Amino acid sequence: MSERPPLALFTFLCFGIAFLYVPIVVLMVYSFNASALVEIWGGFSTKWYGQLIHNSAILDAALLSLEIGVIASTGAVVLGTLAAIALVRFPVFRGRLLLTGMVNAPLVMPEIITGITQLLLFVSLAGMFTWAAHRGMTTIVIAHLAFCMSYVTITVQSRLQSADRALEEAAMDLGSGPVRAFVEITLPIIAPALASSWLLSFTVSIDDLVISQFVAGPGVSTLPMVVYSKVKLGVSPDVNALATIVVAIVGVAVCIAGWWMRRTEHQRVLDLQMAER
C-alpha cells in the first residue's frame, strides 16, 4: 500500500513512537546529570560513567553475561540449524511431531515456568552429575540455549524453505557429497538467516533475567540480575549510564546489521539475475 496516510493517522503514529522513545531519551539525558536526584538538573557531568567503570560487580556481571551470550547463541545457532534442516529436509521421520512441538513450545512458554522446571531438573541431576551441582555459568548457558534454539530454528526454517534445492542437487550430481554440497551451496544462502538469528539469540540471552535468576546458583550474577537488584532499591544514576551505553551499542549494531543484511540480499538478487542470463 502506498497511498498517502491521512494526517490524523500519521500524527497518531508519531505519538506512539514518542511514547516508546521518551522514557529512553530521558534516561539517557539524566545519565549526564551531575545531581543524583532525578528532579534536579545539576549540570553536565560524566561522573556516573566513571563510577560505572570502577564498579567491579557490574563489570564482572557484564563480562559473564557476554560470555554466556556468545556461547549460548553460538550453540543455539548450531543446534537450531540442525533442527531446521531436519524439519525442512526430512518430511517423514519418527519423532517429527515431537521435535516440532519442542521447537515451538518455548515461544509460548512463560519464562517463569521454563525457569522453574529447569531449576528442578538441575537440582534433581545434582545428585548424579557434578556439573549440575555447581549451578552457575554452565547451567545458565544450557537454559539459554534451550530457548534461543527456537528463534534460530524458526528463522532458518523459513529461509531454507525458500532456498532452491535444485542448486544443491546439481552440485551433488556434479560429484560433491551431500555435506560439501550443503556447506558450499546452501550455507551461503542461509548465512543471513544464521547471522540474524545469532544476533537475536545473543540479545535474548544477554537480556534474560527470569530464567537466569532461577538456574544461577548462589553467588553467580549476570548483568540483568545485578541491574534488577539495584533498580529494586530505587534510583541509581549509574544504571542510567549503563542504559545509555547499551542503547548506543544496540543502535549502532542494529544499523550495521541492517545495512549488511540489505547488502547481502541485494548481492544475492544480483547474482541470481546474473545466473539467469
Partner 1 sequence: MSPALTLVSLRQGVRRTLDRHGKWVIILPPMLFLLVFFLIPFLFAFKISFADSDISIPPFTKMFSTTADNHINITLGLDNYNRLFFSDDLYAASYLYSLRTAFFSTMICLLIGYPMAYAMSRAKKTTQNLLLLIIILPFWTSFLLRVYALESIIRENGLLNTALLWLGIIDHPLQIMRTTVAVYLGIIYSYLPFMILPLYATLEKLDNTLLEAASDLGRRPWRSFFEITLPLSLPGVIAGSMLVFIPAVGEFVIPQLLGGPNSLMIGRVLYDEFFSNHDWPMASAVAICFLVLLVGPIAIYQYYNVKQQEQ
Site for partner 1 in 72-131 (CB under 8 A): 79-80, 82-83, 85-86, 89-90, 93, 95, 98-99, 101-106, 108-114, 116-118, 120-121, 123-124, 126
Cα(237)–Cα(49) distance, rounded to whole angstroms?
Answer: 9
Residues in 17-36 that interact with partner 1 by CB under 8 A:
17, 19-24, 26-27, 30
256 makes contact with partner 1 (CB under 8 A): no
255 makes contact with partner 1 (CB under 8 A): yes
Nearest distance from C-beta of residue 272 to partner 1, angstroms? 21
User: What amino acid is encoded at 237 in this protein?
Assistant: P
264 makes contact with partner 1 (CB under 8 A): no
143 makes contact with partner 1 (CB under 8 A): yes
Which is nearer to partner 1, 45 or 176 (by Cβ)? 176
Residue 183 has what DSSP assignment? I
Nearest to 72 by CA among 187, 149, 151: 149
User: What amino acid is encoded at 67 in this protein?
Assistant: E
DSSP H or E stretch at residue 122: helix 111-126
**Residue 91 grid cell:** 518430511
49 makes contact with partner 1 (CB under 8 A): no
Nearest distance from C-beta of residue 188 to partner 1, angstroms? 19
Residues in 165-184 that interact with partner 1 by CB under 8 A:
172, 178
**Residue 212 grid cell:** 537466569
Interface region with partner 1, contact rule CB under 8 A, candidates 52-60, 190-198, 233-241, 265-273: 233-241
Instruction: Give the ranges where 134-236 is alpha helix by DSSP (H).
Output: 137-162, 165-173, 178-181, 187-207, 210-215, 223-232
Cα(268)–Cα(169) distance, rounded to whole angstroms?
Answer: 19
194 makes contact with partner 1 (CB under 8 A): no
